[in-house]
Amino acid sequence: MPELPEVEASRLEVDPYFTRYRIDNVEVRRPDLRDRFPTRFRERLLGQTVETFARRAKYLLATLTSDETLVMHFGMSGSFTVSPAGGALEIDKHDHVVFHMSSGVIIAFNDPRRFGLMTLLTPRQLRTHPVLSRLGPEPLSDDFDAPTLARACRGRKAPLKAVLLDQRVVAGLGNIYAAEALHVAGLSPMRAASALATADGEPKEAAFRLVAAVKAVLLRAISFQVTDRDRSTRFRVYDRESLRCLRRGCRGTIARRTQAGRSTFYCPACQR
């Protein structure tokens, strides 16, 4: 499943072709993805100009001149294909929604497994959306800092990794990059979250370390996506069970443990 860096890299790639351009035509090639498309989906998109194209957690949000927002989610296998103006787009059988922009560019939403999502929301629906309205701060924003994380962790006995995956604590952080950030910060994924805060909810040094690690890991992962570098060189712990730890001076071996039904990779020697 695409995680935040993959979604953000896709946003960066497609933004120049969506933002400030009018949607001249839309091909809706099936009645649904994960859910059915909303009523008059195509008609509500036609003639609308995309004012902004943003990301919230793992959702992409295109605000339209109609004041509605086109909300998209990649699900398990979604992606965009862009055909430049004047080029010929060979439609794949999994291209389920195809946008024809006023620039001549064609943008296809491809989703072989059809777990993706595409809907239109009014401003009120966006404010009260059961998922979007409950999301915590974006991990790459200034709103996600050590005091904010410490307040969320105060008194919580849950494992630190589980708290990082709580979307109300930090939006969009997934299993892979939570494990990576914990390794960079030198913190055990099994450590109680409360260890990051004082009894009064003030951040300890580990909270500052972890916030910095989350931001660094995500920025590095986005860079890898944008430059299309070798995936196998990207991870420090994820999917590296039984291999040596990459932290300088550490002689540990990466271990795997199951937490809440998901694999956690970490170094028992240097993550405390």
- Which residues are designated catalytic? 2-3, 58, 262
C-alpha 101: how far from its chain's center? 25
Residue 76 gets the label, from left (phi > 0), alpha (psi -120 to 50) or beta, of alpha
What is the CB neighbour count within 10 angstroms for residue 141?
A: 11
CB proximity list for 79: less than 8 A, separation 6 or greater: 2, 10, 109, 110, 111
DSSP state of 194: G
Provide the token pair at 65: 């001149």
Question: What is the C-alpha to C-alpha distance for residues 75 and 29, in angstroms, rounded to an integer?
Answer: 18
State the alpha helices, DSSP H only, in the chain. 4-18, 41-45, 123-127, 146-153, 160-164, 175-185, 205-227
b/e per residue 209-246 (b: at least 16 CB within 10 A):
bbbebbbebbebbbebbeeeeeeeebbbbbebeeeebe
Residue-by-residue DSSP string for 124-147: HHHHT-TTGGG----TTSTTS-HH
